[in-house]
Structure 1
């Protein structure tokens, strides 16, 4: 993207994120209309849908030639990532939103010809905005995030884990994951993939392993994490698929190979 174009996208996306967040906060204590999608734990609220509709209307008004790839059905049906594609999760961590009224995020990734150019993750209740432009570093609010530490080892690392190990085509070797839990310093689960990527970028956790994420769950986080030197792939080491659900392993480069080789076994 040209600098002028990037600047326009940055200004508009950030403005819309804050507007969407203000609307969520103004309505979050009202009675929620809660539905389920794939199963009883896969929640969606009217605010998820309303927030996505808001982004869809803004994008189509300001950038009519762009595409929207999103979770709640207001985006475009895509067979490729040609052109400019906004990848949006309006409320990432809906279960946290419903049960805790916190620990959820708005996630916006902007891709150009399949390359991640701009990423935003907004921790709504803590008022913390993570952002990145490809090649220009990542930020927490207005503070530039440092590159990841280069002395991380498996035994001193903290790994974020999603407890749902089943995925469409693979099953992980749980004994190896249990060994990883024993061999690392600790594990965490935050209930929001976007926030887990944000915490990776901050260096609060050193790796993140999950068996199924959709592109809108990780699109922004991948951009932000790469700007501090992190790696994001599928759990078998293959590149992520931006059109379909993925296994995901993201980590500090120092432990990436060791963890994939010794603890991640998909069969």
Structure 2
């Protein structure tokens, strides 16, 4: 019953947050850099995270919030219920294009992903997954991914840091139908979950970049691992691959060594 209440509240809060972000399109943003000139944070990132922290703590005082922008709780374990939030995934896209970004919200219980939400704000598309209950976009159930089509049948998404760590990935790109990069990890996860791409590889993602995407992608049969094929620690930054089953097998066998 608690997950049903959490789901209801999460959807309400996502739509409120999205409306606030859309309203900001007509305002002047306050923009700062973090690790470099392409790693941006805006007042809307901070305000959106603060909004989620406030409403979650008010509605569910025992829940903790693990977020990117410094207003959430100091989370060192995943005991109980922990919300993992990226208020604006793809901030550079948000600032420069007003599209290609998403709100990413995940609910983990004792370390297990239970509910995942990725809201493409500009497209008004809400991806949702619940453990062992399937995945959906705007209420339409997503079909399981193709378990047998291989790398040659699909586009590949790989950021430059992944290709630098594994130079042989350029050979994988040549073996695929082509390379794409969207600039928002959550939406790149959804490109794979919906079969629009065969795999997405990144050398360094934070928990909030992939927490919701992992839940949704696994519900449709995708494989989600570190690039060295180990399990993902949802408290640590690290590499990530999400892939269709056969594409994963080919990448592991031929390119991720």
TM-score (norm 2): 0.97
Alignment match, 2:194: 202
Q: Which structure 2 segments of 5+ residues have no match?
A: none
Deviation at 1:261, TM superposition (A): 2.4
User: 1:37-186, aligned counterparts within 5 Å?
Assistant: 37-165=34-162, 172-174=165-167, 176-186=168-178
Alignment partners' CA distance in 1, 2:13 and 2:44: 15
Tell me the residue number matched to 2:212: 220
Partner of residue 229, structure 2: 237
The equivalent position to 1:12 in structure 2, one of 9, 13, 18, is 9
Give how far 1:177 is off: 1.1
Question: Residue 33 of structure 2 aligns with which residue?
Answer: 36
Distance in 2 separating the partners of 1:189 and 1:108: 22
Give the drift of 1:109: 0.5
Alpha-carbon distance in structure 2 between the residues aligned to 1:202 and 1:173: 26
Which secondary structure state, in structure 1, belongs to the residue aligned with residue 58 of structure 2? helix
Distance 1:261 1:68 in 2: 38
Question: Quick check: 1:172–1:264 contact (8 Å CA) kept in 2?
Answer: no
Aligned residue for 1:164, secondary structure, equals: helix
Q: Tell me which stretches of 4 or more aligned residues in structure 1 moved more than 6 Å.
A: none
Deviations 1:26-49 (A, max 9, x none): 112211110011111110000000
* Residue 261, structure 1, aligned to residue 256, structure 2: no
| Distance in 2 (alpha carbons) for counterparts of 1:57 and 1:195 | 26
Q: What count of residue pairs does the alignment treat as equivalent?
A: 257
Superposed CA offset, 1:154-209 (max 9, x none)? 2112111112348xxxx6231x1111111111111000001111121111111010
8 Å contact kept, 1:215–1:245: yes
| RMSD value, Cα | 1.1
Provide the C-alpha distance between the structure 2 equivalents of 1:60 and 1:232, rounded to a whole number of angstroms: 30
1:211 aligned to 203, 206, 220, which one? Answer: 203
Deviations 1:52-99 (A, max 9, x none): 000000000001101100000011112211110000000000000000
Instruction: Output the CA distance in 2 between the equivalents of 1:128 and 1:238.
Output: 31
